[in-house]
Amino acid sequence: MTILVVAEYENGAVAPSTLNTVAAAAKIGGDVHVLVAGQNVGAIGESAAKIAGVAKVLVADNAAYAHALPENVAPLIVELAQGYSHVLAPATTNGKNTLPRVAALLDVDQISEIISVESADTFKRPIYAGNAIATVQSSASVKVITVRTTGFDAVAAEGGTAAVEAVGAAHDAGISAFVSEELAKSDRPELTAAKIVVSGGRGMGNGDNFSHLYSLADKLGAAVGASRAAVDAGFVPNDMQVGQTGKIVAPQLYIAVGISGAIQHLAGMKDSKVIVAINKDEEAPIFQVADYGLVADLFEAVPELEKLV
């Protein structure tokens, strides 16, 4: 059994989500290979070779794979997949974009967002916004799986000495092209990897008021998230949304401020170790999942909290 992990990377190195995915692969068992596909990704391949427990790194360096266009990357993975028992990718927007295309080309069903490995062919995954957990068995010859990163503790980024091999195959479907990108710039930790997350909801009132959360977050070394209501209202950009169809987070501490706690939001954060809710409505459903609830006006409580931590 050999497993291929499709690497996610950013800023010239493998992303933390790749380390969680390698951990899921290690639970399945067998050799773990990592594919780094992109343009000018040699250094990323080198960083992937250091991941603990990885036996081999495949580097597909080609202009066609820049920006992870699925029309080009999926055929590459399909070609490589023939030699593997499983193909895994983190359930990031890249993984979610590309892997179902791979699965359909292989004529197999995908298992999305697994949170545990029961055996080499059986996995658990949340359905209905996490209100039920399904155990799913795959009979596919190549099992195509995306991994919910919060379900698996990351392996060490250093310590491995995998062989690096270049993959020559170039697949350019020629039907899609990258135009532009607007990436959020932040000095704060990445939302899905942060140990502490401070999130704001509709109760924040407007985008400017999020400054209260940013200064609290900076004092705590936290990332800042938001509920769908806050994103839809235009308070903050989409990349901050935590929830069923946004980002899934499971930090040590999640502080929900002015968030009522719709089931769709809870789906994205209820696996956090400790949940704090600050809301002036004592009936808000968020208090049903909070370890510590504070019924208070957030505009008084948040600055005070910032002072005391």
Partner 1 sequence: MKVLVAVKRVVDYNVKVRVKADNSGVDLANVKMSMNPFCEIAVEEAVRLKEKGVATEIVVVSVGPTTAQEQLRTALALGADRAILVEAADELNSLAVAKALKAVVDKEQPQLVILGKQAIDSDNNQTGQMLAALTGYAQGTFASKVEVAGDKLNVTREIDGGLQTVALNLPAIVTTDLRLNEPRYASLPNIMKAKKKPLETLTPDALGVSLVSTNKTLKVEAPAARGAGIKVKSVAELVEKLKNEAKVI
Residues from 220 through 249 that contact partner 1 (CB under 8 A): 220, 228, 231-232, 237-239, 241, 244-245, 247
Cβ 174 vs Cβ 225: under 8 Å: no
Distance CA(198)–CA(175), nearest Å, equals 41
Of residues 94-123, which lie at the interface with partner 1 (CB under 8 A)?
A: 94, 96-105, 107-113, 122
**Judged by CB, which is closer to partner 1: 49, or 230?**
230
Residues 6 or more apart in contact with residue 176 via CB below 8 angstroms: 69, 71, 72
**Judged by CB, which is closer to partner 1: 105, or 154?**
105
**Judged by CB, which is closer to partner 1: 20, or 160?**
20
Q: Does 85 engage in binding with partner 1 (CB under 8 A)?
A: no
Distance CA(100)–CA(102), nearest Å, equals 5
Q: Does 253 engage in binding with partner 1 (CB under 8 A)?
A: yes
Q: Does 270 engage in binding with partner 1 (CB under 8 A)?
A: yes
Q: Of the candidates 162, 118, 115, which has an alpha carbon nearest to the alpha carbon of residue 137?
A: 118
Distance CA(223)–CA(101), nearest Å, equals 32
**Judged by CB, which is closer to partner 1: 45, or 293?**
293
SS3 state of residue 67: helix
Cβ 298 vs Cβ 278: under 8 Å: yes
Give bridge partners of residue 215 from the DSSP assignment. Answer: none
Q: Of the candidates 76, 38, 96, which has an alpha carbon nearest to the alpha carbon of residue 173?
A: 76
**Closest approach of partner 1 to the CB of residue 183, in Å:** 4
**Judged by CB, which is closer to partner 1: 17, or 49?**
17
Cβ 217 vs Cβ 224: under 8 Å: yes
Size of the site for partner 1 (CB under 8 A): 92
How wide is the angle at C-alpha 44 spanned by C-alphas 148 and 190, nearest 5°?
Answer: 45
Stretch that binds partner 1, among 18-26, 35-43, 136-144, 199-207 (CB under 8 A): 136-144
Q: Does 304 engage in binding with partner 1 (CB under 8 A)?
A: yes
**Closest approach of partner 1 to the CB of residue 289, in Å:** 5
**Judged by CB, which is closer to partner 1: 26, or 302?**
302
**Closest approach of partner 1 to the CB of residue 182, in Å:** 5
Stretch that binds partner 1, among 19-27, 32-40, 51-59, 63-71 (CB under 8 A): 63-71
Cβ 84 vs Cβ 190: under 8 Å: no
Helix (H) or strand (E) holding 14: strand 13-14
Candidate list 93, 166, 281, 297; residue touching partner 1; CB under 8 A = 93
**Closest approach of partner 1 to the CB of residue 245, in Å:** 6
**What is the longest distance spanned by two Cα atoms in the chain?**
60
Of residues 64-83, which lie at the interface with partner 1 (CB under 8 A)?
A: 67, 69-71, 74
Of residues 171-230, which lie at the interface with partner 1 (CB under 8 A)?
A: 173-184, 192, 196, 220, 228
**Judged by CB, which is closer to partner 1: 45, or 261?**
261
Distance CA(257)–CA(203), nearest Å, equals 7
The number of C-alpha atoms within 13 Å of 202 and in the hemisphere containing its C-beta is 11
**Closest approach of partner 1 to the CB of residue 59, in Å:** 22
**Judged by CB, which is closer to partner 1: 31, or 71?**
71
